[in-house]
DNA sequence: TGGCGAGTTGTAAACGCTTACACTTGAGGG
DNA sequence: CCCTCAAGTGTAAGCGTTTACAACTCGCCA
């Protein structure tokens, strides 16, 4: 005999489906049907109900709805804890798509492994809780149980996250890494087209043996693919790339500068073309060239990668291969929603193409990039 | 007589509080108490229950919980539909703080007013629904009813969002704009300190009448404050700023370039100091100077604003006033959570200070900005 | 000895929805 | 004229929690 808790959110109670039913003089079932399955209801009744709904400003209680349907129309996104444009572009795309399809997005930057993150029974192996231990079930750090699906955008697979998601049989899509698991879709960036295009673009002005690929870390998957395609494209043009035409380092301005420095010492920075692993590396090369009074693009052609804002703002503006991060986000959400609707379908792999954007650093006649 | 829907999420039913109660041989009430209010339960019983919880891997159902408590520990963030670093930095800070306090973040980029966004009764004036109209209550675009509070990060106040939030008596904090409303907290960036510091920094090397402020749009609140502080600081140094020492335009590279061009024509770009309204403007000025072979910082000192990534990557690296976006996000969330806990407390206004970061564009001896 | 309060636990009523099933009509077919 | 069937509607049982109240056990004091 709990008291009727007229516990208004704040003064006044929100209208419930009951209120609508009374106002429209029908049963709650009918109201629900009008809202979820109108074709089960006669047009006149539906109209009556709709009027009541609007008049009362009724909005279904999402908790109650979720309790019944076990759906929230909320999707989780596990993001790496990094800064930068990628992060936000990706999210932009994801959110736009989610909105378009009537979903919402819950973000969860990945907790630093070592850091705080109090242990809860959810991330402890069963039985690991010390007797008398004070910590007890709170919500897991990604609000599992609230989300209908999860997009994992973390590069290094997070065991914890992963296991928990599988346990809950939560629909999952992963980004930027191929996982060979039955029900798991992957969204990938296809470095091929852009890299090929960029290489050919450079080939149009320079002989193949004068082209260099300056990548990020050798272990990096994207850098690998880009390097490979670079080599392939040269081969297709009849040039066998020398070993020194490929370099690996880090994704930083310094590395680009450093690399250019070594060529400079050998007096070999002039008359070549550089495809960088990302825009920062390209910028490093550009700065080295400027310091050495080497003219870009006349004496040195540079193409970056990722097409960050940087590329169009720097001067000379940087040609760059555009990576469609927003599209990646959108595709992730789209795929995730599709899987929710159809859990058993075979895993798909989406590959989004990259594309060269030509600017001044590789083509004197290119627009300044519209700074 | 609905059938017992053993509707497992996917094969097997998740353990409910019932299951735990049975396993621990207590009532569901006791289990609930152990989880939410342990000091109401004897230590032995609590221990028994905890063991069962861990063993079964029980996790409270968030929908049921929300239905009862009317709390979700989810906060909404309404973001402007823009790209860029601010967006992501802000979100980073917000998410970190939310996580720290056991909350989650639901993002909602603002829908473009004109665009799609199907009309639902929630954003229609009552009665506006045409008879027979097909659209009916879906969830509002920010999952009102699911979130415990809302941080509005949109610059131009969105009537709709606002009204809806007020109607629901949803705790709200707004960013970057002061709202004089009883229960509404504001988080602001205090442009004062950084601007003053930057101006004084320039004053240390140049006479006050050689300093210029090149702002963004005249209407922009931040630009206004920055301009004012610039003038004040000059006055404090005994200089009355001439009208032409302040300029307003847009937040773009072009505008900076343009502005510098006019001074260049008057042969007046040498020997001055420029405080720009943001980094892009500063970059425009810098590029103009470089085109004119004017040495920075020797002949022209430039300070940007916002301290974006750009500032440290460009060469010479750009001195800039750092705006603590992550902190803004964190403060917003923190304040919001505080208000949820204490809805009646008076509105607070948080002001986060800005700070000058000196680099090469204004000081030859500054570090390169650690590119 | 009776009564009272504190500490612990159980009982069961909501919370606001969805939906299986039962029921009522009226049309159409044999 | 009875039976069947479809369409439209209502009834009420949950969904998995929280929590007011009742109930019981002690220990303690008058």
> Which of A's residues 3-42 have CB atoms within 7 A of nucleic strand C?
3-6, 13-14, 16-18, 28-29, 31-33, 35-37
Residue by residue, pLDDT tens for chain A (371 residues) are 333 333 443 446 899 999 999 999 999 999 999 999 999 999 999 999 999 999 999 999 999 999 999 999 999 998 876 667 777 888 889 999 998 999 999 988 765 433 333 333 333 333 333 333 333 333 346 678 899 999 987 665 566 677 777 777 899 999 887 777 888 999 999 999 999 999 999 999 999 999 999 999 998 888 999 999 999 999 999 999 999 999 999 999 999 999 999 999 999 999 999 999 999 999 999 999 999 999 999 999 999 999 998 999 998 999 999 999 999 999 999 999 999 999 889 999 999 999 999 999 999 887 654 55
Structural domain includes residue A129: no
**Distance CA A43 to C1' D7 in A:** 12
Q: Is residue A166 within 8 Å of residue A183, measured between CB atoms? A: no
Domain that holds residue A28: 17-60
Tell me: do B268 and B339 sit in the same domain: no
Q: Which of B10, B109, B253 sits opposite A95 (nearest CB)?
A: B109
Closest CA to A165 of B244, A42, B285, A154: A154
**Domain assignment of residue A270, yes or no:** yes
The rounded distance, in Å, linking the Cα atoms of B158 and B170 is 15
Distance, CA of A291 to CA of A312 (rounded, Å): 20
- CATH number for the domain including A274? 3.40.50.2300
Helices (H) and strands (E) in chain B, counts: 12, 12
Q: Is there contact between B1 and strand C, defined as CB under 7 Å from any strand atom?
A: yes
Angle at A319 between CA A314 and CA A320, to 5 degrees: 105
Sign of the four-CA dihedral A315, A319, A325, A330: positive
> Is residue B207 scored above 60 in pLDDT?
yes
Q: Which nucleotide is nearest to A33 (CA to C1')?
A: C18
B182 and B89 in one domain? yes
**pLDDT tens for residues B115-164?**
333 323 332 333 333 333 333 333 446 677 899 999 987 665 566 677 77
In this complex, which protein residues place their C-beta within 7 A of any atom belonging to strand D? A 1-3, 25-30, 33, 39-42, 44-45, 64, 67-68; B 1-5, 13-14, 16-18, 28-29, 31-33, 35-36, 58-61, 64-65, 67-69
Question: Residue B368 has what pLDDT?
Answer: 54
| Whether B55 and B80 share a structural domain | no
At B134, list the tokens: 């097909």
Q: How far is A283 from chain B (nearest CA, A)?
A: 8
Domain boundary among the residues A28, A60, A92 is at: A60
Residues B337 and B300 in one domain: no
DSSP state of A245: G
**Residue A53: which CATH number?**
1.10.260.40
Judgement on whether residues B105 and B202 belong to the same structural domain of the protein: no
The residue among A247, A248, A259, A256 whose CA lies nearest residue A218 is A248
Co-location of B56 and B89 in the same domain: no
Q: How many domains does chain A have?
A: 3
Å from the A145 CA to the D9 C1': 34
Do A100 and A25 reside in the same domain of the chain? no
Ranges A156-165, B166-175, B292-301: which has the least confidence = A156-165
In-domain check, residue B219: yes
Q: Which residue is nearest to nucleotide C20 (CA to C1')?
A: B2
Same domain, A196 and A275: yes
Domain identity same for A89 and A202: no
**Residue A230 sits in the same domain as residue A273:** yes
Q: Which of residues 53-82 of A touch strand C (CB under 7 A)?
A: 58-61, 64-65, 67-69
Is the residue at A360 inside a domain? no
Residue A359 lies in a domain: no
- Token output for B102: 């056991």
In a domain, B9, yes or no: no
CA–CA gap between residue A117 and residue B35 (Å, rounded):
19
In a domain, B3, yes or no: no
Is there a domain that residue B134 lies in? Answer: no
The closest of A216, A209, A189 to A304, measured between CA atoms, is A216
Give kind and range of the element (H or E) at residue A353: strand A349-353
Of B119, B154, B149, give the one whose Cα is nearest residue B134: B119
The reply to whether B48 and B167 lie within a common domain is no
Domain co-membership, A150 together with A249? no
């Amino acid at each position: 005999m709990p008291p009727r808790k007229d516990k208004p959110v704040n003064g006044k109670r929100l209208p419930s489906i009951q209120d609508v039913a009374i106002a429209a003089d029908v049963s709650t079932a009918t109201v629900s049907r009008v809202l979820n399955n109108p074709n089960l209801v006669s047009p006149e009744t539906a109209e009556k109900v709709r009027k009541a709904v609007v008049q009362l400003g009724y909005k279904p209680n999402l908790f109650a709805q979720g309790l019944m349907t076990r759906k929230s129309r909320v999707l989780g996104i596990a993001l790496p804890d990094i800064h930068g444009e990628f992060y936000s572009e990706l999210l932009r795309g994801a959110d736009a798509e989610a909105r378009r399809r009537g979903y919402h997005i819950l973000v969860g930057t990945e907790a630093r492994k070592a850091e705080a993150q109090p242990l809860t029974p959810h991330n402890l192996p069963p039985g690991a809780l010390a007797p008398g231990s004070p910590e007890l079930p709170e919500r897991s750090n990604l609000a599992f149980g609230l989300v209908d699906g999860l997009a994992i955008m973390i590069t290094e697979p997070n065991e914890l996250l992963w296991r928990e998601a599988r346990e809950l049989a939560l629909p999952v899509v992963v980004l930027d890494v191929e996982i060979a698991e039955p029900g798991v879709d992957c969204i990938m960036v296809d470095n091929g087209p852009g890299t090929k295009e960029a290489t050919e673009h450079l080939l149009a002005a320079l002989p193949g043996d004068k082209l260099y690929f300056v990548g990020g870390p050798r272990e990096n998957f994207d850098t690998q693919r880009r390097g490979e395609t670079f080599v392939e494209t040269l081969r297709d043009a009849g040039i066998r790339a020398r070993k020194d035409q490929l370099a690996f380092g880090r994704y930083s301005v310094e590395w680009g500068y450093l690399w250019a420095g070594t060529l400079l010492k050998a007096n070999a920075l002039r008359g070549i073309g550089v495809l960088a692993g990302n825009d920062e590396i390209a910028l490093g090369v550009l700065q080295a060239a400027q310091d050495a009074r080497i003219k870009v693009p006349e004496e040195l052609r540079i193409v970056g990668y990722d097409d960050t804002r940087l590329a169009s703002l720097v001067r000379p503006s940087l040609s760059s291969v555009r990576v469609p991060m927003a599209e990646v986000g959108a595709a992730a959400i789209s795929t995730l929603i599709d899987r929710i609707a159809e859990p058993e379908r075979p895993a798909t792999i989406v590959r989004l193409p990259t594309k060269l954007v030509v600017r001044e650093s590789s083509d004197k006649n290119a627009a300044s990039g519209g700074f």
